[in-house]
C-alpha cells in the first residue's frame, strides 16, 4: 500500500497554532461567490515535521490564493485517528472537509494535493471527492508533485540546489515506493538526475523499486565513498527518522555504513524546500486556469 508507517511524534512540540485549528484555516470571505482551496496531504503524526512541511505548503497556497478560504484534509485515516486520540488534534478526512465546505456555503473549490505521485492516496482522494462534485458550482483539482516531464526536471533542479553536496559525496534519496503502477516515477526520477548531468545521485525506495540492493549496486558501480542521505518524501517522519537515518541494523544509514560508506543523513522533507512548495502552487494555478473538465 501507498502508506507511511505511523508513529506519534514528540508531545513537547504541540501545539502549533497553524495546525491546530479545525475547519477553515482562513475564514470564508463574504463575496458574490464563496471560494476555497483545500490542501490534501497524506499526513503525519510527527508534529515537528508537519509544521515545517505540510504547514509550510498550506501557507504557501494560502498566500497564493488570498481570495480563497483555506481548508485542510489528510488521506490517512490511521494518522487522523492517532492525532485525535493521542494529541487531541482533529484533522478532517477528505470527505469531512468537502462536507464542511458545503455547510460553509463554498461554491468554488480548488483542491491541491501534496502527494508525490498519482498513487493509491491520490486515487483515494479522487474517489472521496467524486460523490460531492455536484454540490459545488466549480471543482478543480491540481496534480501531485510529479505529473509531467517538466515536474521531474524542476524537482531535480530544486533538490540539487538544496542538497549542498560536499566534495566526493553521492546523494542517495529515499522515496516511499508503492505497489501501484505509478511506482515507475522513482526509476524515472533516477534516470532524470542522470540525464540532467547528475550521475552522483541515486534514487531508491523503502517500499517499492528500486530497493536498497539496487542502490548498493549503483554505488559500487560509481565507486562512491561518501553518502549524503536524504528523504524524497514530503515530510521527514517515521520513514526518514527510523528507516533512513535510524541506528537500527536495518536502517539505510546502518546498511550503508556497514558497506563501508561514510554517511551524512539529513532529515529534511521535500515540503521544507521553497522551490518544491512553489511547484504545488504552480499545479494549483494550472488547475484553476486550465481545468480538465
Is residue 41 within 8 A of residue 74, CB to CB? The reply is yes
Q: How far apart are CA 86 and CA 9, in angstroms?
A: 10
Q: How far apart are CA 200 and CA 193, in angstroms?
A: 8
Q: How far apart are CA 62 and CA 107, in angstroms?
A: 18
Provide the terminal-to-terminal Cα distance of the chain, rounded to the nearest Å: 29
Question: What is the DSSP code (8-state) at residue 132?
Answer: G
Strand order across the beta sheet in which 201-205 lies: 201-205, 169-175, 226-232, 262-265
Q: Within the chain, what is the greatest distance between any pair of CA atoms?
A: 64
Question: What is the DSSP code (8-state) at residue 108?
Answer: E
Helix (H, G, I), strand (E, B) or coil at 110: strand
What are 243's three cell numbers?
528507516
Nearest to 188 by CA among 224, 229, 156: 156
Question: What is the DSSP code (8-state) at residue 240?
Answer: I
Residue 240's contacts (CB-CB under 8 Å, 6 or more residues apart) are 49, 174, 231, 233, 267, 269
Nearest to 212 by CA among 239, 234, 180: 239
- Catalytic site residues? 176
Amino acid at each position: 500500500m501507498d502508506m507511511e508507517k505511523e508513529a506519534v511524534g514528540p508531545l513537547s512540540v504541540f501545539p502549533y497554532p497553524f495546525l491546530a485549528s479545525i475547519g477553515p484555516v482562513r475564514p470564508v470571505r463574504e463575496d458574490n461567490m464563496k471560494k476555497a482551496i483545500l490542501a490534501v496531504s497524506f499526513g503525519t503524526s510527527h508534529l515537528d515535521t508537519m509544521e515545517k512541511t505540510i504547514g509550510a505548503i498550506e501557507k504557501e497556497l494560502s498566500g497564493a490564493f488570498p481570495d480563497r478560504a483555506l481548508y485542510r484534509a489528510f488521506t490517512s485515516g490511521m494518522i487522523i485517528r492517532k492525532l485525535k486520540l493521542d494529541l487531541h488534534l482533529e484533522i478532517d478526512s477528505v470527505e469531512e472537509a468537502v462536507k464542511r465546505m458545503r455547510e460553509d456555503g463554498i461554491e468554488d473549490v480548488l483542491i491541491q494535493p501534496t502527494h508525490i505521485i498519482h498513487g493509491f492516496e491520490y486515487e483515494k482522494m479522487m474517489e472521496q471527492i467524486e460523490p460531492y462534485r455536484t454540490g459545488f458550482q466549480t471543482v478543480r483539482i491540481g496534480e501531485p508533485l510529479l505529473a509531467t516531464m517538466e515536474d521531474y526536471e524542476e524537482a531535480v533542479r530544486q533538490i540539487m540546489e538544496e542538497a549542498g553536496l560536499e566534495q566526493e559525496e553521492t546523494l542517495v534519496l529515499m522515496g516511499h515506493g508503492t505497489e501501484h503502477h505509478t511506482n515507475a516515477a522513482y526509476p524515472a526520477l533516477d534516470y532524470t538526475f542522470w540525464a540532467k548531468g547528475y550521475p552522483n545521485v541515486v534514487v531508491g525506495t523503502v517500499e517499492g523499486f528500486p530497493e536498497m540492493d539496487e542502490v548498493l549496486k549503483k554505488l559500487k558501480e560509481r565507486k562512491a565513498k561518501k553518502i549524503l542521505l536524504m528523504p524524497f518524501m514530503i515530510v521527514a517522519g517515521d520513514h526518514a527518522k527510523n528507516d533512513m537515518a535510524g541506528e537500527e541494523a536495518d536502517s539505510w544509514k546502518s546498511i550503508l555504513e556497514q558497506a563501508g560508506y561514510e554517511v551524512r543523513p539529513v532529515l529534511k522533507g521535500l515540503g521544507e524546500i521553497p522551490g518544491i512548495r512553489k511547484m504545488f502552487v504552480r499545479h494549483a494555478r494550472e488547475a484553476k486556469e486550465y481545468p480538465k473538465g
